[in-house]
Structure 1
Amino acid sequence: MKKLFIIISILVVSITNLFSIELSGTVISDNEKIISSRYMGFIKKVYVHEGDFVKKGQLLYEIDSSNIDSNKQEALLNLQIQENNLNNVKTNYERYKRLYEKDLVPKYDLEQLELKLKNIENMISIAKAKLKEVNFQYKYLKITAPNNGLIIKKSIKSGEMAMPTSPAIILSDLDSLKIKTEINESNLGKIKIGQEVNILIESIGLKTKGKIESIIPNIQNMTHSFSVKISFDKMNKKLYPGMYSKIYFELSNNE
């Protein structure tokens, strides 16, 4: 009788201290990038559509170069003018130098030409730097994918104006998928980082294990819930952001 009481007591303690709950979750990408252009200009062509898979470095869209072409012509013209001025001043300087050696012109005139030469040389350096800057801008006219991923949103069309602060494309990295769920504040103390959970994604028949990676306070405080991100074994299944999943937590009642 005593042994039976002990067994029943152990079962009661186990049931009291350990229970499981089922939560709904969503597959998300933990590396979702909002892509926009660095410079303003008309969009020449868009090479991708929503739902396309892209590789790292693949061309997504291209901005017309007309504005930069105009700036380049202006920079080249300015550089040419300054180089012509330099040649003319050098010619005068050499002539004045010969005259000065024969005491035919004052030293002040020669010094003024020397100062003018230095000023023009500085202006040429600035003009070259400007031209280099303009040429560098061409590389930003072709916007490429920063990593492999899935185009989940495209907000641009050919002929539209690309704005540096306006999101053009959202790229979701399928190699960084997690599952996100919400847990009530009352159960928060019963889970921990690193805890294993069971996961079911019925649409593809995936039963797998996961691990709690982070617990984040929900911005909407009125819900009194916390966001939980879970890494999991994908078992070589094709998964996409937005897929519905079930997560089974074993919760402990121990304080």
Structure 2
Amino acid sequence: MKKILILTILLIINLQAMEISGTVISDNEKIISSKFMGLIKKVYVKEGDFVKKGDSLYSIDSSNIDSLKKEALYNKEMLENSLANIKLNYERYKRLYEKDLVAKYELEQLKLQLDNTKNLLNIAKAKIKEVNTQYEYLNIKASNNGLIIKKSIKEGEIAIPSMPALILTDLDSLKIKTSIPESALQRVKIGTKVKVFIESLAFQTEGKITSIIPDTQSMTHSFIVKIDFDKQDKKLYPGMYAKLFLEFVNE
């Protein structure tokens, strides 16, 4: 604490920096939701759990897709049987046509029926493939390593497509977020160096400003600032309080 106090005094005396407060955030926070509606069978995580990329987060009952698959398989079987019969008739009519026993029109009609049935069978096969792919979406998995910071679902509830179920925050993409008044924009720039101090860990490090964004939600004419910083293998979490000393760019 003595080092920080001395640093603050020196910075104020030299008018080379400004002290502000900030908050650790994740620059890669994902809202997890399901693609299909269905009964939530199992939830594998709770708030505060660390997960790895590919870990199962929750699963949805497959009854709806089972019905679709059963229907698609039945349709495929019917078309295969129909195609086999049409092929037999077409080959028979072809032999008869070669002996001038049937009209060319009849043979052409059977050929058209044969081609149409083949196309329908290809569509049915594609439908089965599509249904099988949907099973993958019933087991929702983590897209990256991270921390579950919010859970809005329970087992036995209905999963609704696009409705937030979980929030996953990436601890490998931590930054510090703060705000500065409009009057400071002339002196604070992208690349401005920042001294960072996280009091709860007595951790001091350095960083620099990577983005300056107008705060459209505020009426105070302030700007949101994001700071990339050296984490030095420390265990840091979103929401941690940080003291920041912004080193002004000399004009």
Calculate the TM-score normalised by the size of structure 1. 0.89
Report the CA distance between 1:207 and its aligned residue.
Answer: 1.0
Partner residue of 1:186? 183
Given that 2:192 and 2:248 are in contact with CA atoms closer than 8 Å, whether structure 1 keeps it comes out as no
| Runs of at least 5 residues in structure 2 that lack an aligned partner in the other structure | 1-10
What corresponds to 1:135 in structure 2? 132
Q: Secondary structure of the equivalent of 2:48?
A: coil
- For 1:207, the equivalent position in structure 2 comes to 204
Change (3 A) 1:96 1:67: same
Distance 1:17 1:234 in 2: 28
Residue of structure 2 in register with 1:239 after alignment: 236
Q: How has the CA–CA distance of structure 1 residues 26 and 37 changed in structure 2, closer, same or farther, with 3 Å as cutoff?
A: same
Deviation at 1:225, TM superposition (A): 0.8
Q: 1:118 aligns with which of 104, 115, 118?
A: 115
Amino acid at match of 2:73: L
Structure 1 residue corresponding to 2:145, chosen from 145, 148, 152: 148
Please give the alpha-carbon distance, in whole angstroms, between the structure 2 residues aligned to 1:15 and 1:71: 70
1:42-191 pair list within 5 angstroms: 42-191=39-188
Q: Distance in 2 between matches of 1:27 and 1:133?
A: 42
2:143 corresponds to which letter in structure 1?
A: P
Cα deviation for residue 221 of structure 1 reads 4.2
Q: 1:90 to 1:15 in 2, by over 3 A?
A: closer
For each residue in 1:166-199, what CA deviation from the matched residue of structure 2 results, as whole angstroms up to 9, or x when unmatched? Answer: 1111110001100011111111211111111111
Deviations 1:28-59 (A, max 9, x none): 00011111111222111110000000001111
Shift in Å at residue 66 of structure 1? 0.8
TM superposition score normalised by structure 2 = 0.91
State how far apart, in whole Å, the 1-side matches of 2:86 and 2:103 are.
17
SS in structure 2 opposite 1:89? helix
Contact 1:18 / 1:250 at 8 angstroms: preserved in 2? no
Amino acid at match of 1:98: R
Q: 1:229 aligns with which of 226, 236, 246?
A: 226
Cα distance in structure 2, aligned partners of 1:100 and 1:21: 95
Whole-angstrom CA distance in 1 between matches of 2:217 and 2:109:
71
C-alpha separation between the residues in 2 aligned to 1:45 and 1:16? 60
Equivalents in 1 of 2:42, 2:115: separation in Å? 46
Q: 1:148 Cα deviation (Å)? A: 0.5
Instruction: Indicate yes or no: 2:32 matched with 1:35.
Output: yes
Report the Cα distance in structure 1 between the residues aligned to 2:120 and 2:247, rounded to whole angstroms. 73
Matched, 1:25 2:25: no
Is the alpha carbon distance of 1:82 and 1:209 closer, same or farther for their aligned partners in structure 2, counting shifts above 3 Å?
Answer: same
Matched-pair identity in %? 68
CA distance in 2, matches of 1:140, 1:199: 42
- In structure 2, what residue type is equivalent to 1:61? Y
Structure 1 residues not aligned, in runs of 5+: 1-13
Equivalences, count: 241
Counterpart in 2 of 1:10?
none
- RMSD between aligned alpha carbons? 1.8
